[in-house]
């Protein structure tokens, strides 16, 4: 019936279809819908930049205005992927410039972005409005200067956790006086200074500025001046939060904060004097998002005091830092026995858990919680235990997303959590000792995670850790019907584990496995499955060269990449050789041409 | 003040029950015992500690350097080696940020004591005026305590013998002490935090102390770093 509507009508209807999945579905209905849809699609999402190439995307979606690209596999975050593996954005920018694409937005995650790319971007797209870079690398502040100077209508420059070489130039001063369109500016990940006066002037002339995240080099008095100019902010990332708390500046800051009635999201505090924190109390009552995970200077009791003001919090990222050194030297230099140290750890753990108890009793609207490890390098690891998690689950019924690093866990706790919070969409648990059993029973944590997948019927993302056998994967395969992403480390006993998952999780898109005894039988059991998924990563498992070759032969629309670091590039390695790192993904365009020497596509 | 250099190891062997969990058996030290991947090496470089050599049983110090709890009665599987690549899975960006912050923390701790005088203000709750003391004039907490005692009458620091130290480690006794009417000496450190006097080695205290305040016990409660999260 709808074929009789003129295309303009179809197009108009499709305007209301915004999610890329829905758009993909629409395009599969019939040829005419495919055609209308492709000409009207403005936002394109590419989950794996090597699944397709720029020319094909441009050919299919000539009117694309917003492009999202993801590059390296997730485990690259944890140093498992060597540098120079790939994920370069340059070819995409070059192709779009060549084809006269009217690009307005570019969002990149885990990609390599050179200054050259940024310069080309800045000069090629006159309507460019929005650049969002997450966990990218390869550029310097010179590239940012090019963006600032040339993008006349820039609305958004959002840099999240990128590795940026700070050339100590004055990139921020490159925003011309005529630039008044900024809505969002986030440079928290930069290490160098920016010109304070230039920053203040920039803020003053951008009346639509809603989101501003400063880096730690911006001092408190600059923050105070900025807030006075921009009381309309929704989202603030403080720079350095260090000052004499009794000073006039801190007083002015508190007053400026009181006028910022729209701030709903707060982050930063990379450098903090906890006694200055009360300055932010005025905005705490309306906060829905708080990220203190980079703030080691806030000790637990100050953190707790702050959180107690935040009753509307929906999202919280924390770590609990305790200055352990004061306790270890309690006995003035006489070192503590093992038991003494254990006991101190337990008290400090309770501080972490009590902190979470404070969150549980205050933040009833909480939906997302991330608790990061408290002290990665130092003496011992005081942090949180299963008790904190149970408290949160009991106090925060709306919780649907959690990332929790902890010392230990128990099945009983996980079962309780599963009962309390059946709404989890993302559940990521990370025990600091990756194979630690149940802290009370010493059994594997299979039953606990089993309870989670059984109870949380909408679970889309799961990371498991602790001592785990094949049993947990049986549960996952049986119950995790909506699961799209699964991360496994140091788990399982045999191929059966992986097979349960591949057979059971029909909606699985990304599977990443490290240091687990899964091998060829599991890998080759259902080769067709991988075309329904975005990617599979396996490192330090039991798969061999021979099996990978077999897989690659059977499935031409998969790229099966073997990553050999520093090993001999033999002409023909033994088929029985175990593969250290394998990354496979579906693709329309065959082996990529930019693979470095140490990556073989079979 | 605190004169603890004569404590033998028996004193440090904590046999008191845990707060609220007196019946927990030794097996539950296994709660913490599974620490093979947690490297509990105390980075006890004597440079960092600035201890008086005479006060220290150095042999014991070296012996205790590797504090791997040996309560591994609950070993199930050979544990992963300490500091496995990419574990815990924390983004390198985050790790680097924390490393920098940690470095500047420990750099501060390592700075040796200079030669100049270290005058700090001393206030006492209820006293009509403040005093100043030069911390460099004293070598131990006890000496400082005596000097302050002469300056301000009627103030007690709290027990400083070994039993007293044990009391600090027992959460409920700590709460009793802080709830009592005794005065408690506190100081503001370089980060602007108010700390209980007596925690750290003397030299470190002198280096980091910016001012002293002798508080009433009830007010000092909040300083027990989160053992009680009092709302403001």
pLDDT per position as a tens digit, A541-559: 999 999 999 999 999 999 9
Mutate to test the interface with A, among B226, B231, B232 (most CBs of A within 10 A): B226
Those residues whose C-beta lies under 8 Å from the C-beta of residue A11, and which sit 6 or more positions away, are: A36, A39, A40
Q: Which residues are registered as beta bridge partners of A428?
A: A403, A463
Q: Shortest Cα distance from A152 to chain B (angstroms)? A: 31
pLDDT tens profile A8-34: 888 888 888 888 889 999 889 988 889
CA distance B82 to B105: 24
Q: Shortest Cα distance from B67 to chain A (angstroms)? A: 6
Instruction: Judge: A333–B227 Cβ closer than 8 Å, yes or no.
Output: no
Mutate to test the interface with A, among B64, B86, B203 (most CBs of A within 10 A): B86
State the pLDDT at residue A183. 98
Of A273, A330, A335, the CB nearest to B192: A273
Residue A68: φ, ψ to 5° = -115, 130
Instruction: Judge: B94–A372 Cβ closer than 8 Å, yes or no.
Output: yes
Of B56, B64, B229, the CB nearest to A301: B229
Q: Work out the pLDDT band at A350, boundaries 50, 70, 90.
A: low
Instruction: Judge: A373–B90 Cβ closer than 8 Å, yes or no.
Output: yes
Those residues whose C-beta lies under 8 Å from the C-beta of residue A267, and which sit 6 or more positions away, are: A188, A213, A235, A236, A237, A238, A289, A290, A291, A292, A294, A317
Instruction: Judge: A161–B76 Cβ closer than 8 Å, yes or no.
Output: no
Residues of A in contact with B232 (CB under 8 A): 278, 305, 308
Residue A208, chain B, CB below 8 Å: the answer is no
Residue A399 has pLDDT above 60, yes or no: yes
Average pLDDT (B46-71) is: 35
pLDDT tens profile B94-109: 888 877 766 655 554 4
CA torsion B217-A344-A275-A374 (nearest 10°) is: -170
Q: Work out the pLDDT band at A241, boundaries 50, 70, 90.
A: confident
Q: Lowest mean pLDDT: which of A75-89, A341-355, A376-390, A429-443? A: A341-355
Residue A38 CB neighbour total at 10 angstroms:
16
Residue B138 has pLDDT above 70, yes or no: yes
Instruction: Judge: A379–B202 Cβ closer than 8 Å, yes or no.
Output: no
State the pLDDT at residue B15. 34
Residue A83, chain B, CB below 8 Å: the answer is no
Q: Lowest mean pLDDT: which of A230-244, A408-422, B6-20, B129-143? A: B6-20
Q: Compute the C-alpha angle A194/A197/A201, nearest 5°.
A: 110
A354/B178: higher pLDDT: A354
> In this structure, are strands B194-196 and B183-188 parallel, antiparallel, or unpaired?
antiparallel
Q: Compute the C-alpha angle A482/A498/A404, nearest 5°.
A: 60
- Residue A469, both tokens: 């056998």
Instruction: Judge: A339–B42 Cβ closer than 8 Å, yes or no.
Output: no
Residue B133, chain A, CB below 8 Å: the answer is no
State the pLDDT at residue A102. 96
B118/A529: higher pLDDT: A529
Those residues whose C-beta lies under 8 Å from the C-beta of residue B114, and which sit 6 or more positions away, are: none
ipTM: 0.85
Return residues 90-129 of B near A (CB < 8 Å): 90-95, 97-99, 101-102, 105, 109
Q: Lowest mean pLDDT: which of A315-319, A423-427, A478-482? A: A315-319
A574/B16: higher pLDDT: A574
Instruction: Judge: A294–B97 Cβ closer than 8 Å, yes or no.
Output: yes
Closest by alpha carbon to A38, among A50, A29, A47?
A29
State the pLDDT at residue A198. 95
CA distance B94 to A317: 13
Residue B195, chain A, CB below 8 Å: the answer is yes
CA distance B174 to B168: 5
CA distance A535 to A560: 10
Share of chain A above pLDDT 90, in %: 71
Residue B61, chain A, CB below 8 Å: the answer is yes
Average pLDDT (A128-156) is: 96
- The burial of A151, by beta-carbon neighbours within 10 Å (0-12 exposed, 13-18 middle, 19 or more buried), is given as buried
Residue A436, chain B, CB below 8 Å: the answer is yes
DSSP A529: G
Closest by alpha carbon to A273, among B109, B192, B211?
B192
pTM greater than the 0.80 cutoff: no
Tell me if residue A46 falls in helix, strand or coil. strand
State the pLDDT at residue A579. 92
Average pLDDT (A485-503) is: 97
CA distance A536 to A512: 6
Closest by alpha carbon to A420, among A392, A447, A461?
A392
State the pLDDT at residue A445. 97
Residue A285, chain B, CB below 8 Å: the answer is no
Q: What rounded mean pLDDT belongs to chain A?
A: 89
State the pLDDT at residue B74. 34
Residue B154 has pLDDT above 80, yes or no: no
Measured N-to-C along each axis, helices A470-479 and A495-504 cross at an angle, to the nearest 10 degrees, of: 10
SS3 string, A12-43, reads HHHCCCCCHHHHHHHHCCCHHHHHHHHHHCCE
State the pLDDT at residue A169. 75
């Amino acid at each position: 019936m709808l074929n009789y509507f003129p295309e303009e009508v179809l197009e108009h209807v499709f305007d209301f279809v915004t999610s890329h999945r829905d758009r993909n579905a629409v395009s599969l209905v019939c040829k005419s819908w495919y055609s209308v849809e492709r000409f009207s699609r403005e936002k394109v999402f590419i989950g794996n930049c090597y699944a397709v190439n720029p020319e094909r995307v441009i050919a299919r979606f000539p009117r694309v205005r917003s492009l999202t690209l993801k590059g390296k596999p997730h485990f690259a975050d944890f140093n498992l992927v060597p540098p120079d593996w790939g994920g370069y954005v340059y070819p995409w920018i070059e192709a779009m410039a060549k084809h006269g694409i009217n690009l307005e937005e570019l969002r990149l995650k885990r990609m390599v972005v050179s200054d050259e790319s940024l310069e080309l971007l800045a000069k090629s797209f006159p309507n460019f409005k929005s650049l969002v870079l997450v966990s990218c690398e390869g550029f310097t502040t010179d590239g940012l200067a090019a963006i600032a100077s040339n993008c006349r209508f820039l609305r958004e420059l959002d840099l999240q956790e990128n590795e940026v070489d700070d050339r100590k130039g004055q990139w921020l001063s490159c925003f011309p006086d005529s630039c008044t369109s900024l809505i969002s500016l986030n440079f928290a990940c930069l290490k160098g200074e920016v010109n304070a006066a230039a920053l203040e002037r920039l803020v003053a002339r951008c009346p639509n500025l809603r989101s501003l995240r400063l880096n730690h080099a911006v001092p408190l008095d600059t923050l105070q001046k900025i807030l006075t100019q921009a009381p309309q902010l929704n989202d603030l990332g403080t720079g350095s939060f260090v000052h004499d708390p009794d000073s006039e500046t801190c007083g002015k800051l508190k007053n400026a904060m009181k006028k910022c009635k729209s701030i709903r999201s707060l982050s930063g505090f990379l450098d903090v004097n906890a006694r200055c924190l009360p300055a932010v109390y005025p905005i705490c009552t309306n906060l829905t998002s708080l990220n203190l995970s980079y703030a080691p200077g806030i000790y637990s009791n100050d953190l707790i005091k702050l959180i107690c003001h935040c009753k509307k919090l929906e999202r919280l990222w924390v770590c609990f830092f305790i200055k352990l050194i004061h306790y270890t030297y309690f006995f003035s230099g006489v070192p503590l026995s093992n038991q003494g140290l254990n006991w101190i750890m337990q008290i400090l753990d309770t501080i972490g858990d009590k902190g979470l108890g404070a969150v549980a009793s205050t933040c009833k609207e909480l939906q997302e919680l991330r608790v990061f490890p408290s002290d990665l390098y130092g003496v011992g690891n005081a942090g949180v235990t299963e008790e904190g998690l149970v408290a949160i689950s009991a106090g925060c019924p709306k919780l649907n997303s959690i990332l929790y690093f902890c010392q230990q866990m128990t099945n009983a706790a996980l079962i309780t959590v599963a009962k309390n919070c059946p709404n989890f969409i993302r559940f990521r648990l990370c025990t600091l000792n990756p194979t630690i059993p149940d802290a009370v029973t010493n059994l594997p944590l299979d039953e606990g995670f089993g309870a989670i997948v059984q109870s949380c019927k909408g679970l889309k993302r799961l990371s498991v850790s602790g001592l785990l056998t094949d049993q947990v994967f049986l549960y996952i395969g049986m119950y995790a019907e909506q699961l799209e992403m699964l991360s496994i480390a140091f788990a399982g006993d045999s191929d059966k584990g992986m097979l349960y998952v591949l057979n059971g999780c029909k909606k699985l898109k990304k599977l990443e496995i490290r240091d687990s005894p899964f091998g060829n039988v599991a890998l080759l059991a259902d080769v067709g499955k991988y075309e329904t998924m975005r990617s599979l990563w396996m490192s330090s498992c039991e798969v061999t060269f021979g099996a990978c070759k077999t897989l690659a032969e059977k499935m031409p629309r998969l790229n099966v990449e073997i990553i050999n670091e520093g090993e001999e590039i033999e002409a023909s390695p033994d088929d029985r050789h175990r593969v250290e790192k394998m990354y496979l993904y579906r693709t329309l365009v065959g082996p990529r041409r930019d693979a470095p020497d140490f990556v073989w596509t079979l | 003040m605190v004169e603890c250099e004569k404590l033998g190891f028996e004193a440090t062997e904590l046999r008191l029950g845990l707060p609220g969990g007196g019946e927990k058996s030794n097996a539950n030290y296994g709660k913490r015992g599974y620490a093979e991947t947690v490297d509990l090496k105390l980075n006890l470089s004597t440079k960092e500690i600035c201890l008086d050599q005479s006060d220290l049983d150095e042999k014991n110090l070296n012996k205790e350097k590797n504090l791997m709890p040996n309560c591994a009665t609950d070993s199930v599987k050979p544990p992963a080696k300490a500091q496995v690549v990419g574990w815990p899975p924390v983004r390198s960006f985050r790790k680097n940020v924390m490393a920098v912050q940690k470095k500047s923390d420990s750099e501060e701790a390592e700075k040796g004591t200079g030669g100049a005088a270290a005058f700090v203000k001393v206030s006492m709750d209820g006293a009509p005026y403040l005093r100043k003391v030069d911390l460099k004039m004293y070598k131990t907490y006890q000496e400082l305590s005596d000097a302050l005692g002469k300056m301000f009458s009627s103030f007690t620091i709290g027990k400083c013998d070994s039993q007293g130290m044990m009391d600090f480690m027992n959460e409920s006794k700590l709460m009793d002490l802080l709830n009592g009417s005794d005065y408690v000496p506190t100081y503001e450190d370089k980060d602007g935090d108010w700390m209980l006097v007596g925690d750290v080695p003397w030299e470190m205290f002198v280096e980091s102390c910016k001012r002293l305040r002798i508080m009433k016990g009830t007010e000092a409660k909040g300083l027990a770093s989160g053992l009680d999260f009092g709302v403001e």
